[in-house]
A and B are shown apart, each in its own frame.
Chain A
């Protein structure tokens, strides 16, 4: 079955710096990959969707890349702010065309 790996350790960065989160997947080549933000005690909120034929997608301070050769997606937040502190989940689709969610990486942006 598909396996999703996100860094389980928290990522601590200084305000204003660029945060880069990694999502690696195995055993399947997804056609789509989504990123979500989740705050404590809340449901995930959709951020970006990238397709296999797209190398990069941007939305305001967010950028996602999708490398189907490396089987990896990178999620970047530029000019990070304390309000960006949250857990970020990656979710590629699986062979059944459902989303498979990673365990998430917690981002802490310090002022």
Chain B
């Protein structure tokens, strides 16, 4: 089945630890996005990538890092510099065209908590 796979579903971070969230897609989409969702709030854009080996900061990039070495994969690292990492993290993709004039396809998220 075509889709977006995020793993793990639940993740716990210790103080001072970096953790990496996985996002894999088999939709052959060029663009990929990472969002953060806090309870009762809208999704906020962390990073996005429109092509392999290129990515841009979103609205809340501080304390996060990404890489885009393969078209299918866009991992997000939550670094120890992110002081409030507890949230629901969502990965999305879009095909050819702009990020807002076509549907975004989402994975089922990773819930990150602090131990």
Interface residues of A (CB under 8 A from B): 4, 8, 30-32, 34, 41-46, 49, 51, 89, 91, 93-94, 97-104
Q: Are A32 and B101 in contact, with the CB atoms below 8 A? A: yes
A104 — nearest CB in chain B belongs to which residue? Answer: B42
A-B contact count (CB 8 A): 65
Tell me whether A8 and B100 are in contact (CB under 8 A).
no
Q: Digit string of B72-115 for contact with A (CB within 8 Å is 1, else 0)?
A: 00000000000000000010100000111111111111010000
| Contacts known (A4-B42, A101-B43, A102-B42); A43 close to B90, Cβ less than 8 A | yes
Min Cβ gap B24→A in Å is 14
In the complex, A46 Cα to B95 Cα: how many Å?
A: 14
A43 with B108: in contact, given A98-B45, A101-B43, A103-B41 (CB under 8 Å)? yes
Shortest Cβ gap from A76 to chain B (Å)? 19
Query: Taking A89-B42, A98-B58, A100-B42 as contacts, is the C-beta distance between A46 and B109 under 8 angstroms?
Result: no
Q: How far is the CB of A28 from chain B (nearest CB, A)?
A: 12
- Please indicate the chain A residues that have their CB under 8 angstroms from the CB of B4 in the complex: 43
Q: Which residues of B contact A43 (CB under 8 A)?
A: 4, 6, 90, 92, 106-109
Q: Max chain B CB contacts within 10 Å: which of A44, A49, A51, A97?
A: A44
Contact of A99 among B41, B100, B109 (CB under 8 A): B100
Question: Which of chain A's residues has its CB closest to B41's CB?
Answer: A103
Residues of chain A contacted by B109 (CB below 8 angstroms): 41-43
